[in-house]
């Protein structure tokens, strides 16, 4: 399983990645990915994704939802 936290800007994504590493005891910070909105070239019109690999489905989705919501984001599961 993979969790993708969608956040409004890079600063929020970096903070969430740091918090996730601490909260979940990750050995590496989650991956950050810039996701430009369709048809937009402006860097301001981008969302940032924090990708958390969870092969054993060990991370609580509700906890990840709450963390993303604190930063005006949301979680998607893949």
| CA-to-CA dists, residue 47 to 13, 37, 54, 58, 77, angstroms | 9, 7, 22, 26, 16
pTM given for the model: 0.85
**The predicted structure's pLDDT at residue 40:** 53
Q: Which domains does the chain have, with CATH numbers?
A: 2-77 (3.30.70)
What is the reported pLDDT for 5? 96
pLDDT value of position 44: 59
What is the model's pLDDT at position 29? 82
Q: Please give the pLDDT value at position 36.
A: 75
What stretches in the chain show pLDDT beneath 50?
A: none
């Amino acid at each position: 399983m993979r969790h993708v936290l969608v956040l409004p800007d890079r600063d929020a994504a970096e903070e969430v990645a740091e918090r996730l590493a601490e909260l979940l005891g990750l050995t590496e910070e989650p991956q950050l990915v810039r996701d430009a909105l369709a048809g937009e070239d402006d860097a301001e019109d981008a969302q940032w994704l924090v990708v958390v690999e969870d092969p054993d489905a060990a991370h609580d989705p509700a906890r990840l939802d709450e963390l993303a919501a604190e930063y005006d984001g949301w979680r998607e599961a893949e």
